[in-house]
Chains A and B, each alone.
Chain A
Amino acid sequence: MAKKHTKPVVIKLKGLKKRYGIGNAEHYALDGVDLVIEKGEFIAIMGPSGCGKTTLLNILGLLDRPTDGDYLLDKKPVEELSAAHHARIRSEQIGFVFQNFNLIPRLTVIENVALPLTYKGMRKMKRLKEASRVLKNFHLQEREYYMPNQLSGGQSQRVAIARALVNNPSIILADEPTGNLDSRASHIVMEELSDLHRRGNTIIMVTHNPKLTTYASRVIHMLDGKIASDTKIMVEVTSTTDKIPLGIKKKVAA
């Protein structure tokens, strides 16, 4: 816990509640969540279906609004802001990774990656340069002008991660990023995420797969809209590459 004061707080939640339905059908998907997330954390949120993991992630990503409670993103309260303001925050501070990748099928890989920059108002040439630079980090440079349907699942998800990263977000939100992938592709994707984590990015990941928590620096278990347990893994995950034979990442990428 010594680190707590050395790193700035990115997200602070206090008494966050989300209610669905009214009257008899009233149901709290989130029932008073308090959470502080510091810069550079890799958080895995676990829990059974319907425990509110995805709702929490949606609220963190400003896609949904809490019924009650405070949400401070980069020390600024955000729940009262307008929808247009939320859109701007999403375009500048938040990157999403989805279970089903959500690449736009009629855009090329590089255009998909450059998409978030469009809404920042960046010129096309600059957008594509930026996207190309990010893709290079993911060893997908030679796939730039492929269409999404020409990529494997693992490649698609890495493109999606590149897209989440292209606008240099404060937090990356990943909803079951390996849910649609086989174990080998899962490893590669998780490897990329933990690589991002090592480079100082804040990642919040929802997952069902307990194995993936080994990549995380902090594991949160949720139950019935509340945080049941919150464990920080103090031992820094140095490397997990030893699980995969050397060079396989390159091979798959190529």
Chain B
Amino acid sequence: MRLLISDHITNAYESLRSNRLRTFLTGLGITIGVASITTVLALSAGVSSVIHQQITALEGNIAVIRPLSTTSGDLTVQQTFTPSTLTEQDYQALMKNKDIKHIAPMMIVAGIPSKGDTKPAGTSVIASTPSLQDIAKLEVRDGQFLDDVTNQQTVVVGEQLSVDLFGTNQSVGQTLTVKGKRFTVIGVLKRSNDPINFSTVDFDKTAIIHLSAGKELAGKTAPLQQISLQATSAAKLQPALQAVDAELARLHHGDKDYTIISGRDIAASTSRLFQLIQGVSAVIASVSLLVGGIGIMNIMLVNVAERTREIGLRKAVGASNAHIIWQFLIESLIISLAGGIAGYVAGYVLAFIISTFLTFDPAFTWYIAGLAGALSLGVGVVFGIYPAVKASRKDPIESLRQYR
């Protein structure tokens, strides 16, 4: 039996056209659902692609070592406050590896940079070494970065932090206080507008002190939140990481309480928070899609009820149950697919509007387009099949007896 797809499509198109406002409103439900999902996914894909770009820009020879607890899935609280299993000894042992060009420890100091009573929110202090500049590609705007000659009383600040603390970005020579200890600003970083990066630190709002100074503040110990390393070349990265793994295993007595992340995985673990936000917002967005689907079912049931006589007549002139199912299913599919396409476009428009307030752009991926298409088709089928089957089950005699 022929399914008459093209006939059903023209037919559905005409019946939808005859109820334009109703069709539009029903499709709008799907549009809103798909748009919200698209927005969420486009923005979070944007985050990932920013990090991917950074890694690509670093020629693929970057790896980071993190304490295992921070990558086990749960979020920033642990990342900041759990005593890290990585220590300065680990860092120093790894410095000897010949395949590693740069290696930089990163210790998050539990303190806020302050000047007098000014304690800007959202800022952080990290302790590291001069190599951080090379690995994290930090550019100095004014003054200089940390180097081996500078002493323990010096600090490099991000531009935003400089403005927050001193009211100017020309703060070289000024002093700030961390945990009661005074530091002299020797350099101001160029604004990077890049709060998402593999170092998990917004350098615009960070004060960077030397690792030895950080150790002083933390009571002579240096628990490291991350060790970033850069191999001499991309080809040397894997051998270097194997050596690193062996060395760390030896130092930790075979206890694998650290993890080595390279390539794309760096982005994955960095965007964990974003993944969670993405997950939660996608679920909320799906609720609106669900509501849209219910709208489709509702309207299709009304359609079926309104056209009972038409169904009876079509059956009388030779339509089989399958023909009737297809006729109504294709109608709901057209609504949901058109709504989905509009939603995909609207979602990106919305994502671009939102991104003007953010530091990254939404990303276009096939995955999102495919998902938007599959979701709208799925909604059309799931919520259209019941009304369609209901229509096909109508008794032609009863249907024809119904008066307008």
Contact = CB atoms under 8 A, between A and B. Distances in A.
A and B interact: yes
Contacts of A124: 7, 10
Interface stretch (B184-192, B309-317, B345-353): B309-317
A115 interface: yes
A208 B322 CA distance: 36
Given A58-B397, A96-B317, A102 B309 contact: yes
B319 A119 contact: yes
Interface string B18-40: 10000000000000000000000
Interface stretch (A43-51, A82-90, A231-239, A243-251): A82-90
A58 B195 CA distance: 75
Contact of A90 (B4, B318, B397): B318
Interface string B390-404: 000000110010010
Contact of A106 (B14, B309, B323, B403): B14
A90 B314 CA distance: 10
Contacts of A98: 313, 400
B4 A121 contact: yes
Interface in A84-132: 84, 87-88, 90-92, 96, 98, 100, 102, 104, 106-107, 115-116, 118-121, 124
A61 interface: yes
A119 B317 contact: yes
A77 B321 CA distance: 22
A58 B397 CA distance: 8
A163 interface: yes
A106 B15 contact: yes
A61 B400 CA distance: 13
A146 B353 CA distance: 49
Given A83-B321, A118-B4, A124-B7, A106 B18 contact: yes
A83 to B, nearest CB: 6
Nearest to A61: B316
A87 B318 contact: yes
B379 to A, nearest CB: 26
Interface in B319-360: 319-323
A207 interface: no
B229 to A, nearest CB: 69
A163 B313 CA distance: 11
A230 interface: no
Contacts of A121: 2, 4
B310 A100 contact: no
B57 interface: no
A83 B15 CA distance: 26
B310 A84 contact: no
A202 interface: no
Contacts of A90: 315-318
A158 B4 CA distance: 27
Contacts of B14: 106-107
Nearest to B316: A96
B1 interface: yes
Contacts of B10: 124
A130 to B, nearest CB: 14
A100 B318 CA distance: 19
A153 to B, nearest CB: 14
Contacts of A118: 4, 7
A84 B315 contact: no
Contacts of A88: 1, 318, 320
Interface of A: 58, 61, 63-64, 83-84, 87-88, 90-92, 96, 98, 100, 102, 104, 106-107, 115-116, 118-121, 124, 163, 167
The 5 nearest A-B residue pairs measured at CB:
A91-B318, A87-B320, A119-B318, A116-B317, A121-B2
20 contacts: A83-B320, A87-B323, A88-B1, A92-B318, A96-B317, A98-B400, A102-B309, A102-B316, A102-B400, A104-B310, A106-B14, A106-B18, A116-B317, A118-B7, A119-B318, A119-B320, A121-B2, A121-B4, A124-B10, A167-B317
Given A92-B318, A102-B309, A121-B2, 5 more contacts: A63-B396, A115-B314, A119-B317, A119-B319, A120-B318
